[in-house]
Amino acid sequence: MTEPQEPIPETPTLIRRRRPFLAPIGLLALAGILFLAVAFAYWNSATTTTIVLVRHAEKQVGAISDAPLSPLGEVRAARLAQMFGDSATFGRVQKIYVTDTRRTQQTAAGVAQRLGVTPEIIAGKTDSKALAKRVLRENRGGRALVVGHSNTVPEIVAALSDQSDVPSMVDEEFDTLYVVTVPTIGRASVLRLKY
């Protein structure tokens, strides 16, 4: 006869207890790490765009509607070329915008020639805010020169800097130069100079 065997005791199974209160903490930590990674990537991609704005130099007074520069205007245009026409690649103007008038094109001609850059001709009736957006979009992180008129330069400066107190230019004011720096993060700043 066979002896009755003792029942083999069952081994206890390992029961994992779930800890539901840790799941939200883990998700929150993961979201925090993801946020920091995105913020770090955005911060590293942040740039500053620099736009130099001037009014055209002095024009000849006469009966011609699209008058060329006067001799005094040619001297001022040469001074502008000396200031911004350095051909070294570090810190140089990369793009030039002028209107469809002879005086703005002649004002920028010396700078363009020294840099080997062909100026972009903008229609004279272009909206200043639209032009400011275009210049920022096309020159993100770069440097550009805009040669405009007594009525458009202050408007473009105001649109780029988001400031409404930009002083208007009088008819005899040809020596004012604005340097507007627009960072990706933060507020724009404006430097007003005479040249």
Domain locations along the chain: 47-194
Angle, helices 152-161 vs 128-138, to 10°: value is: 60
Taking phi over 0 as left and psi of -120 to 50 as alpha, with beta for the rest, 141 belongs to left
Quote the strand ranges of 76-175, DSSP E: 95-99, 120-122, 143-148
Close Cβ partners of 10 (under 8 Å, ≥ 6 residues apart): none
pLDDT tens figures, 102-147: 999 999 999 999 999 999 999 988 999 999 999 999 999 999 999 9
Q: What is the pTM of this model?
A: 0.78
With 0-12 / 13-18 / 19 or more C-beta atoms within 10 angstroms meaning exposed / middle / buried, residue 69 is buried
User: The domain 47-194: what is its CATH number?
Assistant: 3.40.50.1240
pLDDT tens figures, 75-107: 999 999 999 998 788 889 999 999 999 999 999
